[in-house]
């Protein structure tokens, strides 16, 4: 459960992690978590100046790129909005989209519209996040086999309403000061919700936040430091569906896909500093209902 000082303790869905987990818990096996430690795996794509690793959940795709020189990342017929994350302050990219040409400095999050687009970068770390409707990218994911069949505990994917002022490149700086009653730094679009958690020291293990999600996955993308992901599945009537607890160390760069309804909490462990980004698709209703949590809520209506 969340501690009383954790802003998430005020969420409507933040009950104790001992619920029945749905009426079908006894009849449906629990899905496993997926862990991708990028530097321990061959890249999905390699060019003369960049390496890209792809990983996915049921509704989202993460593309993690390390560029050593000029690199162009293109989408010719993107079916929906996607997100570009530039975690390094010294990165500069040039983005083209229908009717637009925008230069963006690092330490930014950018929403890029559907259709044709390109991102030109001279070097650095570039993260793109897509919905799983990008079938060509889903096929490149290192864990594509995990999603050969849809996971029954997750409802069919539905994007959120279009922005009233239309699709366009939207740029948001990550230099958002913390606020006591707000959790993280959260942005959303029609397809995704991204929480760029502030850089943190090793976590106090007496102040953890084990919790669960009933019907959606969470992707925890580690960009700096190292995290230990602790997961526990409930005991249900059918012992064949029980799973062992997991305590998995994932140094950056890495991603963990946490399935429902696993109880989970992540512990930052690197003494120098740790950076985690949480990804959800589609956006979370409970976070969106919290006043002031979603920093661009005025641009994207809720369903």
Domains defined for the chain, CATH in brackets: 7-299 (2.60.120.10)
Task: Write down the H helix ranges in 73-230.
Answer: 135-138
Given phi > 0 = left and psi -120 to 50 = alpha, else beta, which region is 89? alpha
* Residue written as token pair 């897509």: 130
- H helix or E strand, kind and range, residue 287: helix 285-288
Model confidence at 9, pLDDT cuts 50, 70, 90, reads confident
DSSP-assigned letter for residue 133: T
The whole-chain average pLDDT of the chain stands at: 93
Q: For 162, how many CA atoms within 13 A lie in the half-sphere containing its CB?
A: 8
- Residue 7 banded pLDDT, cuts 50, 70, 90: confident
Q: Whose structure tokens read 């997750």?
A: 154
Mean pLDDT of 245-249: 98
Residue 261: the pLDDT is 95
Helices (H) and strands (E) in the chain, counts: 2, 20
80/60 Cα distance (integer angstroms): 12
pLDDT bin (cut points 50, 70, 90) of residue 2 is low
pLDDT tens by residue, 184-225? 999 999 999 999 999 999 999 999 999 999 999 999 999 999
Q: Give 158-173 pLDDT, tens digit per residue.
A: 999 999 999 999 999 9
């Amino acid at each position: 459960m969340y501690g009383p000082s954790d802003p998430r303790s005020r969420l409507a869905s933040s009950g104790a992690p001992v619920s029945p987990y749905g009426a079908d818990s006894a009849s449906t096996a629990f899905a496993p978590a997926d862990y991708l430690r990028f530097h321990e795996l061959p890249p999905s794509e390699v060019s003369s100046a960049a390496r890209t690793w792809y990983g996915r959940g049921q509704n989202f795709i993460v593309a993690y790129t390390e560029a050593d020189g000029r690199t162009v990342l293109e989408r010719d017929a993107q079916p929906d909005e996607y997100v570009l994350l530039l975690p390094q302050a010294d990165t500069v990219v040039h983005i083209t989209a229908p009717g637009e040409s925008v230069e963006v400095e690092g330490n930014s999050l950018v929403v890029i519209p559907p259709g044709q687009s390109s991102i030109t970068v001279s070097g650095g770390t570039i993260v793109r996040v897509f919905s799983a409707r990008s079938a060509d990218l889903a096929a490149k994911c290192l864990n594509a086999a995990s999603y050969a069949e849809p996971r029954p505990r997750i409802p069919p994917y539905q994007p959120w309403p279009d922005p009233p002022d239309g699709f366009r490149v939207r740029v948001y700086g990550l230099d958002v000061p913390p606020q006591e009653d707000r959790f993280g730094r959260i942005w959303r679009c029609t397809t995704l919700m991204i929480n760029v958690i502030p850089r943190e020291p090793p976590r106090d293990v007496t102040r953890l936040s084990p919790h669960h999600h009933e019907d959606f996955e969470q992707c925890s993308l580690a960009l700096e430091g190292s995290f230990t992901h602790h997961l526990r599945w409930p005991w249900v009537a059918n012992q064949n569906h029980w799973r062992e607890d997991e305590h998995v160390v994932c140094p950056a760069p890495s991603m963990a896909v946490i399935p429902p309804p696993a109880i989970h909490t992540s512990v930052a462990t690197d003494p120098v500093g740790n950076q985690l980004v949480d990804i959800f698709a589609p956006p979370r209703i409970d976070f969106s209902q919290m006043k002031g949590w979603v920093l661009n809520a005025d641009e994207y209506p809720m369903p």
